[in-house]
Amino acid sequence: QQQVKQSPQSLIVQKGGISIINCAYENTAFDYFPWYQQFPGKGPALLIAIRPDVSEKKEGRFTISFNKSAKQFSLHIMDSQPGDSATYFCAASIGWGYQKVTFGIGTKLQVIP
Amino acid sequence: DAGVIQSPRHEVTEMGQEVTLRCKPISGHDYLFWYRQTMMRGLELLIYFNNNVPIDDSGMPEDRFSAKMPNASFSTLKIQPSEPRDSAVYFCASSPLLDNDKNIQYFGAGTRLSVL
């Protein structure tokens, strides 16, 4: 059972455009939502994370929007660059410091010049 | 620190052979995770350890898979006997309890396993 549903699985965006990746979860006990970025041949690395007590978190060109009532959250990449081309995973976990993280299936983003 | 170190980076083996994947976590991290990544299923947690003790192995697909952590600086994931459907990229990750108030997992570069 896929507890974190992610879409789309692939995305092509032109340089300078906005990349949007959406995730939905089922377990209302989830209270920590990280996003990981994975470049080819590398392991995933934490990009940005949010807790459900805020509706938005921004770090540079990356923004997480969170809708607790809809059980949905999304990643927006503003002014997308070719260097952003990677696979992005949304994820969720329960509890402060609880280590088990459930990942979405991933979105392969390609930013074309 | 050099980060999480996995070996080998690539492994090609024949069906029925034993495969052992190795991981050295970041020094001082309390948790160690083994994941499997495939196109169809994404990143799946296989097992994780806290202070060398297995906490949750519910993701281990079957008895052919086993994992050990004999000390804080080393872990192995073993597949015996291996099957073609085990072909995937296997990641090891480690984590402190909290890192600057965040729950962060640090991943190794992975082992790409091909079972022929």
pLDDT digits (tens, 9 = 90+) for B13-23: 999 999 999 99
pLDDT classification of B70: cutoffs 50, 70, 90 = very high
Distance of CA A19 to the CA centre of its chain: 11
Q: Which single residue is written with the structure tokens 């006997």?
A: B81
C-alpha to C-alpha distance for B4 and B10, rounded to whole angstroms: 16
| Yes or no, beta carbons of A46 and B104 under 8 Å apart | yes
Instruction: Please give the Cα distance from B23 to A55 (Å, whole number).
Output: 37
Q: Which of A110, A106, A113, A102 is nearest to A38 (CA)?
A: A106
- Three-class SS state of A107: strand
CB of B110 within 8 Å of a chain A CB? The answer is yes
Written as one string, the DSSP assignment of A19-85 is EEEEEEE--TTEEEEEEEEE-TTS--EEEEEE-TT-SEEEETTEEEEEETTTTEEEEEESS--GGG-
CA–CA gap between residue A21 and residue A2 (Å, rounded): 17
Determine the residue among B32, B105, B106 to mutate to test chain A binding: the one whose Cβ has the most chain A Cβ atoms within 10 Å.
Answer: B105
pLDDT score of B1: 66
Confidence check: pLDDT of A96 > 60 = no
Q: Which of B29, B38, B40, B43 to mutate to test the interface with A (most CBs of A within 10 A)?
A: B43
Mean pLDDT taken over chain A:
92
Give pLDDT, residue B41.
87
- The mean pLDDT of chain B is 92
